[in-house]
Amino acid sequence: MVSDDELLAAWRAGDRRAGSTLFGRHYETVRRFFVNKVDTDLEDIIQRTFEACAQGQERFEGRSSFLAYLRGIARHLLLQHWESRRHRDRDVPVDELSLADLGAGASSVLARNRAEKRLLDALRQIRLKDQELLELYYWEGLSGPALAEVLAIPEDTVRSRLRRAKLALKKEYLRLERFAGVPESSDQDLEGWARSLRERLNVVEPAG
């Protein structure tokens, strides 16, 4: 298979088909990044991510992978999206707040059962930066060096943040279980449900 770097070089040389192939290859990854983090204008923000990439592709110097660069653009637009919509706590960085704090509506991801629905709700109750980290870890299979590349932070920092994010998610999930009056789940249950959600991330409920 032609590599991202080869497609990017061809695109820069004027091959529009190479650019279309490159974007098509990573469309679902970008969609998964946004699908549980925005509750309106999903297709619009996906489109703007690729437009920003197209407009700025000459600035990409190859210091990271193309996909990490694309995810960086998506992350910037996500923070911009919520920064423009929040009405309070403006002295707090937007990624230190949760989607619940920011007034997001219900997730559009179709859960298979109540346990998965609670998990989606729990993700949206923790800090946006922790939600992002966990979704990259569970849904994109990123860990260690790859997460450090995407988030532009040291790998040791990634590992410590990942531990804290898992604990925050577990705490919130167990709170929702207690509220629902159901037996507490194990760490293994949470890990399995989190990973299994990936298959339904691109199934979105119709608007309205």
Q: What's the pLDDT tens digit per position in 131-159?
A: 999 999 999 999 899 999 888 899 999 99
Sign for the CA dihedral angle at 35, 101, 82, 153 comes to negative
Find the mean pLDDT for residues 94-120.
89
CATH of 99-207, one of 3.30.470.10, 3.40.50.300, 1.10.10.10, 3.40.50.920: 1.10.10.10
Check residue 181 and give left, alpha or beta (phi > 0: left; psi -120 to 50: alpha).
Answer: left
Which class in CATH covers the domain with range 1-85? mainly alpha
pLDDT of 203: 52
| Percent of the chain at pLDDT exceeding 90 | 63
> Amino acid identity, residue 80?
Q
pTM: 0.88
Cβ atoms of residues 102 and 125 within 8 Å? no
pLDDT of 208: 36
Q: How far is CA 4 from the centre of its chain?
A: 21
Minimal CA–CA distance to 69: which of 88, 83, 49? 49
